[in-house]
Amino acid sequence: MERAQTHRARAVIPFIPYIAVSILHVVLNTLDLPGGGFETKQLLMPALALAAVWATWRVRPRSRAGLALILTALLFSWIGDGAGLFFAGLPTLPMMILCFGVAHLTYIALFWRAPGIADPRRVPWWAAVYAVWWIGAIAVIGPHAGDLLIPLCVYGLVLGGTAALSTRLGPLVAWGGASFLVSDTLIAVREFLEAPDWVGDWIMPTYTLGQGLIVFGVVAALRWGARPVTGSPA
């Protein structure tokens, strides 16, 4: 029991910088304090990428494909986070949709192919709730989306696909996919509907939690998949 607890504690260590930056950004952003914008937001995905590399550094055999997909998804998430900074001359929301769309497609490839991950699960029947979510979201938000209706519909399909397929890699990744979906849904509600202020306050907490759980869960699955089977040569 003590050995298992020690192992879990060590597994969290690479993620401490990401946790610290996430808390700092959420607090500064929620309280509208200096540093709550791009200053701390653009540190989130690099800290999470560092955690993924650090946590898998000694894993053998190392799944280069699995780590590459994680880092690619985080790269496009980082660009999407800074869409207003990197694409100052273009509309921010469409560029965010484009960048995060690529990130979600990368996550879908990761969850579907599961490179280096032992015994991925089947998608459970209850994941059909994400199809219901997509229909409901388009019905409510679609009439207010204007020219972004088609991109919003496509992005919703990709987002729902990420959440549904995340269930293949265990509870942590599944909760991460669900939290990521909640965050993007709140963004859509804030952008297209007359939403109360608290909606915006929950976007970053659910986003950082979702990304963190996805990467932590995938890394744990990669580490488990790298363990030798009992009775086989180590």
- Nearest CA to 187 out of 200, 172, 206 is that of 200
**Gap between the Cα atoms of 42 and 135, Å rounded:** 32
**Gap between the Cα atoms of 153 and 169, Å rounded:** 26
User: Can you count the helices (H) and strands (E) in the chain?
Assistant: 12, 0
pLDDT tens digit string along 50-107? 999 999 887 776 778 899 999 999 999 999 999 999 998 899 999 999 999 999 999 9
Q: Say whether pLDDT at 1 is over 60.
A: no
Note the pLDDT of residue 60: 72
pLDDT mean across residues, the chain: 90
Section 28-51 average pLDDT = 95
Q: How confident is the model at residue 225 (pLDDT cuts 50, 70, 90)?
A: low
Domain boundaries, the chain: 63-225
Q: How confident is the model at residue 114 (pLDDT cuts 50, 70, 90)?
A: confident
Note the pLDDT of residue 7: 60
Share of the chain above pLDDT 90, in %: 78
58-72 in b/e form (b: 16+ CB < 10 A) is ebeeebeebbebbbb
Note the pLDDT of residue 63: 76
pLDDT tens digit string along 172-215? 999 999 999 999 999 999 999 988 889 999 999 999 999 999 99
pLDDT tens digit string along 4-18? 555 666 889 999 999
Asked if 75 and 234 touch (Cβ cutoff 8 Å), the reply is no
Section 27-44 average pLDDT = 94
Q: How confident is the model at residue 231 (pLDDT cuts 50, 70, 90)?
A: very low
| Alpha helix positions (H), 36-63 | 38-41, 44-55
Question: What tokens does 147 get?
Answer: 């020219």
Section 18-29 average pLDDT = 96
